[in-house]
Structure 1
Amino acid sequence: MPETDWQQSSFCGGGGNNCMQMRTAGESIQVRESEAPDAVITLTRDQLAAFIAGVKAGEFDHLIG
């Protein structure tokens, strides 16, 4: 897929070098960090939805500072 298929949040700021990027790949979603574009994680839509729900519920807050 061309690089133009990757999307990132408008909350990333102007530099764009410290952002999570996503794109669809068939029935899956691919996620990467802009600083490490070769490290791609492929998720199902259900896996991504479960992860987002966990973030919103604060399940990962203990990992941050």
Structure 2
Amino acid sequence: MDLQHWRKSSYSGDAANNCVELARIPDAVLLRESDEPGTVIATTPAALRALTRAARAGRFDQLSR
């Protein structure tokens, strides 16, 4: 995939290799870590929305303790 389609989080600031990047294709959203660009996860927009809503609601907070 062409690099111009990948977007990184605004929370990453100027970090070149420490961020999550996303790209949109017709039927999916692609995710990758900038330091592992060859490893790509594909999901649906609905599933990504559900994940981000759950994270914002704190449903995964216990995993980082």
Q: Which amino acid aligns with 1:25?
A: I
Q: Which residue of 1 aligns with 2:47?
A: 47
1:1-65 correspondence runs (5 A): 1-65=1-65
Give SS of 1:59's match: coil
Q: Which amino acid aligns with 1:45?
A: P
The CA distance in 2 between the partners of 1:20 and 1:50, in whole Å, is 17
Give the unaligned 5+ runs of structure 2. Answer: none
Measured after TM superposition, the shift of residue 36 of structure 1 is: 0.8
Aligned length: 65
TM-score, scaled to structure 2: 0.90
Measured after TM superposition, the shift of residue 13 of structure 1 is: 2.2
The CA distance in 2 between the partners of 1:37 and 1:47, in whole Å, is 21
Measured after TM superposition, the shift of residue 3 of structure 1 is: 1.1
Q: Which amino acid aligns with 1:10?
A: S
TM-score, scaled to structure 1: 0.90
Q: Which amino acid aligns with 1:5?
A: H
Give the unaligned 5+ runs of structure 1. Answer: none
